[in-house]
A = this chain, B = another copy of it.
Amino acid sequence: MPDNAANTPGEVLALIRDGRARTRSELSRLTGMSRSTITQRIDALLAGNFLYEAGEAPSSGGRPPQTLAFNSDAGVVLVADLDVTHSRFAVADLSGRLLAESAGELDIAEGPERVMGWVLDRFSELLEEVGRQDADVRGIGVGLPGPVEYSAGRAVSPPIMPGWDGVAVPSLLRPTFDVPVLVDNDVNIMALGEYWTRWRDRIDHMLFVKVGTGIGSGIVANGDIYRGQHGAAGDMGHVQVPTATEVVCRCGNRGCLEAIAGGGALAERLRGLGETVVDGRDVAKSALAGDTRAIRMIRSAGRQIGEVLAGVVNLLNPGAIILGGDVALAANELVAGVREVVYERSTVLATHDLTVECSELGDRAGVVGAAVMIIESILLPSAVDAAIRGDAAG
């Protein structure tokens, strides 16, 4: 029996989306299913609008075969990447291509009802911009700046989101859009965006580190986000830095990475030197503009983050570490500092082909990842099969 068991329409669709099969005969060869079974599955997928006939493939003699293609225009997904004050939004087709994007400012502390109402307004604007209706929406993906119980889409004890503790975000969106809604931590969706865009074909394990006001990480393990027992995995901000144990963090402990190398700490230190900067983004911009104090400061932050990452590299042996967030705008300085310590300090085996780079998606990593998260969920073979059974019954 061939390796690629594909008994259901959803499994057949997965082979076509992956590019492993484009015609009925390729599917038959790949799955070992009979031509008549393949035809049944394809017909169901065509009827359900998941596939379309994309024209004839070159013939190898005889009648040229019809190629099949995934119908990425069959619907859209809506995504929101919410940060403490600054948020980004997008509407994407089912291939994950962003059709329109927007950004806006609202304090997350305004509370869940207010914020999600505002999010729904942004979604309406985006749909209008691309000429789509509410009925075209197949799913919604949301990132929040705090811990999330992924299975329920619920914020859990978020330190910087007063009023959100225990709130299930899907329940605030479903009255408007009766579609699947997935919610995750903002760093996790950024990690997913980077991984799917650039790394998925090459490595199975990746670490994304967001250096913003705080410092957090998203762990990709075996190709998927690793969340831990209570969805709290990825915290790096409160790990102790070996060489800076004297600094007191807002959490009460000493030497926390965030209190030393986070964007907030850097901005505060630069203000102490008389410069007018508000946050890590300003510090990074100063560095990019050639401010030597900001440059030295970010390089040093990179080394301190590297001290913590050196241990993480030994522990997780990732194929790549990708740095993102506001401070990573000063990419060269930050990466240089991190590399300096990680390559010196981690084991040879764990670093021998480790890549350390800054994000290429930048501010867009979150919306790209949120789209991947919801699309991969609604196109899971089991979800596709359920949709097709629903169609047939309805």
Contacts and interface: CB of A to CB of B under 8 A. Distances in A.
Interface of A: 1, 5, 7, 147, 156-157, 203-205, 217, 219, 221-222, 226-236, 238-243, 245, 251, 253, 255, 307-308, 310-312, 314-319, 345-350, 352-354, 385, 389
B1 A311 contact: no
Q: Chain A interface secondary structure, helix, strand, loop or mixed? A: loop
Q: Indicate how many identical chains form the complex.
A: 2
Contacts of A221: 221-222, 226
Contacts of A217: 315
A347 to B, nearest CB: 6
Nearest to A351: B232
A280 to B, nearest CB: 21
Contacts of A229: 203-205, 317-319, 353-354
Given A7-B7, A229-B354, A230-B353, 18 more contacts: A1-B389, A147-B349, A219-B315, A219-B316, A221-B226, A229-B318, A232-B317, A233-B315, A233-B316, A235-B350, A238-B346, A239-B315, A240-B311, A241-B242, A243-B245, A308-B311, A311-B311, A312-B315
Contacts of A346: 238
A312 B349 CA distance: 20
A265 to B, nearest CB: 18
B234 A315 contact: yes
A232 B347 contact: yes
14 contacts: A157-B348, A204-B229, A219-B316, A221-B221, A221-B222, A228-B350, A229-B353, A229-B354, A230-B317, A235-B350, A238-B346, A238-B347, A239-B314, A242-B245
A118 to B, nearest CB: 27
Contacts of A157: 348-349
Contacts of A243: 245
Nearest to A318: B229
